[in-house]
Amino acid sequence: MKPFKNILFFLFLLICVSTIQQAYAQTKAIALYKGIVIKHSVTIKKQLYHFEGADSLSVAPIIIEGNNIIIDFNGAIVEGSTDIETPDKFKGTGIIIKSGKNITIKNLIVKGYKVGLMAKGINYLHIKVSDFSYNYRQHLNSTRDREDLADWQSYHHNEDDEWLRYGAGIYLRDCNHFDLRYSKITNGQCGLMLTSCNDGVILENNLSFNSGLGIGMYRSSRNLINQNNIDWNVRGYSDGVYYRGQDSAGILVFEQCNNNLIIRNTVTHSGDGFFLWAGQSTMDTGLGGCNDNVLYENDFSYAPTNGVELTFSRNRVIKNIIHDCWHGVWGGFSYNSIIADNSFAGNMSAIAIEHGMKDTIAQNHFKDDKVAIELWSNPKMAKSYGYVQKRDTRSVNYLVSDNTFTNVKKVLNIHHTDSLAIVNNKLSESNIPEKLDSTVTHITLEKNTGSTEPKHIDYDRHIDQIKSPKQLPESYPRGRKYIMMNDWGPYNFSYPIAWWQKTDSTGVMHFDMMGPQGDWEIVKMKGVSQPSKMAGKFSDNFAVKKDTSATTDIDIEFTYIGSAVTSPFGLKYPPGYPYTFHYREFNASTQWQMQWFAFDDSNEPLKHEAEFKKLIVGNSVKTSTGKLLADVFGKNFGKNIARQKIATVSTTEINVPAASYRLGISASELVKLYVDGKLVIKNWDPAKLKNDEDNHKDAIIKLSGKHTIRVEQAQYSDYGMLNFRLEKM
């Protein structure tokens, strides 16, 4: 009995020592202050710290320097802007890790900045159990019924940190052997952004509901991305109206990223699930690429554009789920790539490869796809860039074998392709034609029947088989119709909304009630009447009758009581706490008159401003009219007038209730907007139009009653865009 008593006493001492150590550590926790430089291991006092962001991203209120240190933020919140409903105005960087190596950051929350945390040249950086959500995101200009091209992003270059213009939860450059684990970066524009970061681990994080990217990689290789939720990183989508994606993606891999392993993640409902491009240096020289990356057992379903895009490179796509996308896999100019053992279903086109070479498509399961496999080349392709000049870009040498096709409308769509083996594929309610297009040469078609038994080659023999694939949380619905965009990004299901579905011919508006479980009740109504019900439960639906008036000004106020709520901008409400939300719609009646002019070198707008002003008050080449400025411009652009060196002057009258309004104008090049003769927006310097987002400008002004809107626009090139938006604040 004595040894047992000694053991109990020893355990008691351990517990006491541990308790004393924890209490001592808590008393030694330090408080943060603006300008603090942390150089040693420390625990931070848990509280909210408000440090306004600086105008420069290279300046931060908290700096970290040191080797072999652990900083436990202990749940502390570092907050930048408190104006949480204008995340496009967030600025500065929350924390900069300036120098050192082997640094651990844990239990940290950073929000309200352009960049949450930035580190450059820090090897062995470990970030754990932290939250970098609700940082910068752009105000989107696209609406439910119309895409605005100024919302497109460009990630093609990042040699000089150009990606920082979109902000980030975490931005790392030249940080090798990093890891991010058990953390969140949601409800921003870009999540984790990596440049020249190699041999890292991204494990079991939530990188979802961002309006740009979940993960962005540039010149980054040999990284493991495993067991993460990377869903709803999307923009540029309106179900049944347009599905552009606007270069959003769950995972972006750009410019010489090699040997990365992307394994067992959910990457659903994103613009592209996985978006890989070899890079500008490959396009110029024909060398390199983003090669030998492995995509294994991921779910890339419900992408508005491509579940997986792999271009100008050599990669492997194995055992993934790719359902209900425009293209399941887009593999333009891919070579020596393997697409095997994947599940394709309900895609417009499951696999589409132009100018591919020596690609293998094997052991996949295709079901209910409109087209299963498309292979082709363009014999008239321009050879204006280095890759085409220096590489063999024929569509040639494909193996299509041991696949299963079930209820596929068209199994093969192949042309201008040489040397194919299409063998041993099993068909059920599907058909492979006996002959293909005459531009397809040297083809082998054998053993493609309903009774064929596909063979199996082990394409994944080098991949760890321990963990199961990550699953989409059960609380999230599945399907592209649940990509529900608002002004700031994708709806995230954490708060209640009334989602408009349609307005029928009688003026009845139909809504679905979406959100956490609970009860809703209508408190006030404006601009509508005759509700089908005044209260209900989630998920429910109801209808109201829209008032007939020239100006639509609808505001339906609801109260919700039920489960916990996190608001669109990150405020948390406990279960049972009343939460107020609205459905609002505003549309001022407009009738635009647009005059069209053609200019030349003698009266162009930049060098000869006086002559240009004379031009646009003179006789126009033509006049067009309509209710929406974008339609008046778009339907007439290039018709009976040149597409280059043109100018337009458009006017309309509005009659609006007294309020603050956001006026937005998107134009392909130069534009000015006047209200009652006063210049409100000027975007007239082509040197400042470097990116798509530069073609849009906003102004917030107070309006009441009748006003005249005038838009002057000019462009030198033949890219046409002119879109006006009036939003009640």
Residues 255 and 395 in one domain: yes
Phi, psi angles (nearest 5°) of residue 228? -105, 155
Distance CA 184, CA 156 (A): 26
Please identify, among 417, 446, 475, the residue that sits at the C-terminal boundary of a domain.
446
pLDDT at res. 18: 46
pLDDT digits (tens, 9 = 90+) for 182-205: 999 999 999 999 999 999 999 999
pLDDT at res. 380: 86
Q: Is 243 inside a domain boundary?
A: yes
DSSP H helices in 286-400: 386-390
DSSP string, 634-671: HTTTTSSS-SSSEEEEEEEEEEEEEEEEEEEEEESSEE
Residues 530 and 621 in one domain: no
Residues 651 and 516 in one domain: no
Phi, psi angles (nearest 5°) of residue 7? -65, -45
Residues 395 and 276 in one domain: yes
- Does the pLDDT of residue 433 top 80, yes or no? yes
Selected residue with higher pLDDT from 37 and 551: 37
Distance CA 218, CA 679 (A): 41
pLDDT digits (tens, 9 = 90+) for 292-347: 999 999 999 999 999 999 999 999 999 999 999 999 999 999 999 999 999 999 99
pLDDT at res. 551: 87
Structural domain boundaries enclosing 714: 592-728
pLDDT band at 11, cuts 50/70/90? very low
Q: Is 428 inside a domain boundary?
A: yes
Residues 520 and 651 in one domain: no
For residue 46, the domain's CATH number is 2.160.20
pLDDT at res. 4: 43
Q: Is 291 inside a domain boundary?
A: yes
Is the link from the previous residue into 401 a cis peptide, with omega within 30 of 0?
Answer: no
Residues 567 and 632 in one domain: no
Of all residues in the chain, what percent carry a pLDDT higher than 90? 90
Please identify, among 568, 587, 606, the residue that sits at the C-terminal boundary of a domain.
587
Pairing of strands 36-38, 62-79: parallel
Residues 500 and 412 in one domain: no
The tokens for 344 are: 């394709």
Q: Is 461 inside a domain boundary?
A: no
Cβ–Cβ < 8 Å for 716, 725? no
Q: Is 548 inside a domain boundary?
A: yes
- Does the pLDDT of residue 23 top 80, yes or no? no
Interacting residues of 458 by C-beta distance below 8 A, sequence separation 6+: none
Residues 201 and 311 in one domain: yes
- Does the pLDDT of residue 10 top 50, yes or no? no
Please identify, among 587, 612, 636, the residue that sits at the C-terminal boundary of a domain.
587
The pLDDT of 234-245, averaged and rounded, is 95
Residues 302 and 348 in one domain: yes
The tokens for 392 are: 């063999």
The pLDDT of 390-405, averaged and rounded, is 95
Residues 427 and 562 in one domain: no
pLDDT at res. 382: 82
From 313, 338, 307, 325, select the one nearest 371 (Cα to Cα). 325
pLDDT at res. 19: 45
pLDDT band at 466, cuts 50/70/90? low
Burial class (CB in 10 A: 0-12, 13-18, 19+), 611: middle
Q: Is 196 inside a domain boundary?
A: yes
pLDDT band at 381, cuts 50/70/90? confident
- Does the pLDDT of residue 103 top 60, yes or no? yes
pLDDT at res. 25: 43
pLDDT at res. 54: 97
Mean pLDDT (the chain, rounded): 94
pLDDT at res. 618: 94
Q: Is 201 inside a domain boundary?
A: yes
- Does the pLDDT of residue 486 top 80, yes or no? yes
For residue 663, the domain's CATH number is 2.60.120.260
Distance CA 331, CA 308 (A): 8
Task: Count structural domains, the chain.
Answer: 3
Q: Is 27 inside a domain boundary?
A: no
Residues 211 and 82 in one domain: yes
Residues 559 and 616 in one domain: no
Of all residues in the chain, what percent carry a pLDDT higher than 70? 96
From 633, 641, 596, 640, select the one nearest 618 (Cα to Cα). 596
Distance CA 318, CA 465 (A): 13
